Amino acid sequence: MFNTMLNTIMMCYRSLILGLALLLLCTQVHAQETGSHHASRIISLAPHITEMLFAIGAEQQVVAVDDASDYPAAAKKLPKVANYRSLNMEQLLALEPDLVVAWGNAQQQMVQPLVQLGIQVFYSDPATFAKLNEELTQLGDLTGHSSQASKVASRYQQQIATLKQEYQDASPVTVFYQIARTPLMSANASTWMGQAVKLCGGVNIMAESPTPYPQVNTEQVLAQNPQVIVAKSADELAHWQQWPDLQAVANAHLLTIDANLLHRFTPRTPKGIRQLCAQLDQARTN
3-state SS of 73-111 is: HHHHHCCEEECCCCECHHHHHHCCCCEEEEEHHHHHCCC
* CATH code, domain carrying 63: 3.40.50.1980
Q: What's the pTM value of the predicted model, to 2 decimals?
A: 0.83
According to DSSP, the residues that pair with 180 across neighbouring strands are 185
The answer to whether residues 91 and 183 belong to one domain is no
pLDDT of 183 higher than 70: yes
Mean pLDDT of the 112-129 span: 94
pLDDT of 136 higher than 50: yes
pLDDT digit string, tens, across residues 61-74 = 999 999 999 999 99
Q: Chain centroid to CA 170: how far?
A: 27
Residue 239 lies in a domain: yes
Residue percentage of the chain with pLDDT more than 90: 81
What would the DSSP string read from start to end of 16-70? HHHHHHHHHHHHHHHHHHHTTTS-SSEEE-SHHHHHHHHHTT-GGGEEEEETT--
Cis amide linkage into residue 72, ω under 30° from 0? yes
- What pLDDT does residue 19 have? 41
pLDDT digit string, tens, across residues 233-283 = 999 999 999 999 999 999 999 999 999 999 999 999 999 999 999 999 988
Domain that holds residue 180: 170-285
pLDDT digit string, tens, across residues 22-54 = 333 343 333 343 345 799 999 999 999 999 999
- Check if the beta carbon of residue 186 is closer than 8 Å to that of residue 206: yes
Mean pLDDT of the 110-137 span: 94
The answer to whether residues 183 and 143 belong to one domain is no
Residue 264 lies in a domain: yes
pLDDT of 13 higher than 60: no
Tell which of 158, 193, 226 closes a domain: 158
